[in-house]
Amino acid sequence: MRIDGIIFDSDGTLVDSEILSARAISQILQEAGADLSVDEVLERFRGCRFSVFTEELLRDYPVIGPEAFIPAFRQRSAALFAQELQPMNGALEVVAAITIDKCVASNGPREKIESCLGTTGLLPYFEDRVVSAYEVGSWKPDPDLILHAASVMGLSPSRCILVEDSLAGVQAGLAAGVEVIGYRLSEATQAAVGHRVRVIQELAELHGLLETPR
């Protein structure tokens, strides 16, 4: 099968933002009186639609209301991104070397996606190739976001690869009919998807996979 396009998730795949978001959430909750570690936040937060995550989190930890939590999170996470956000290891080198069409498909709003890509130097590689779930009206694990990303590149899903780090993203890719490469998937996610995805630990491994005849 010929592969002509590659779709990247953003948070936790191209940019190392998930740990910073989890830290912001953990700090806000701890200051309000709830003891929730960064690792516990990551376990719940990764790949999840933010509004759904927020509703469930504040239901389980009712120490702060959404009217206070959401602006506090936006402000604190934006400050952390501006000061500390980095590309994932090897992301810049890998993206610069890819010669086939590429795009980003993320559950986040476009402003956040482009801000993160811009801060890390990745945005120039994805001009007019950023797809936000907020604009499509469909969030992972639904496949429509991935299908739309393929259509933006003018490609059939079967000719695309999706690089994802979350269970929701992997499920979206499988449902869309693209080939899925799992990046640093947790053991729980690997167990959930079985042998239906290739798993890599470093983005540099994409070079060999993209060069392998299909």
Would you state the structure tokens that stand for residue 158, as one six-digit string? 């079967």
- Verify whether residue 39 is a known catalytic residue: no
Q: Are 47 and 83 in contact (CB under 8 A)?
A: no
Q: Are 63 and 29 in contact (CB under 8 A)?
A: yes
Q: Active site residue: 9, 11, 16, 142, which one? A: 9
- The enclosing H or E element of 29 equals helix 18-32
CA distance 148 to 161: 14
Give per-residue burial for 83-119: e unless 16+ CB within 10 Å, then b: eebebbeebbebbeeeeebbbbbbbbeeebbbbbbeb
CA proximity to 85, closest of 14, 9, 162, 148? 14
CA proximity to 162, closest of 171, 97, 205? 171
CA distances from 38 to 28, 72, 86, 91, 201 (A): 11, 17, 18, 24, 21
CA distance 119 to 81: 8
What are the residue numbers of the active site? 9
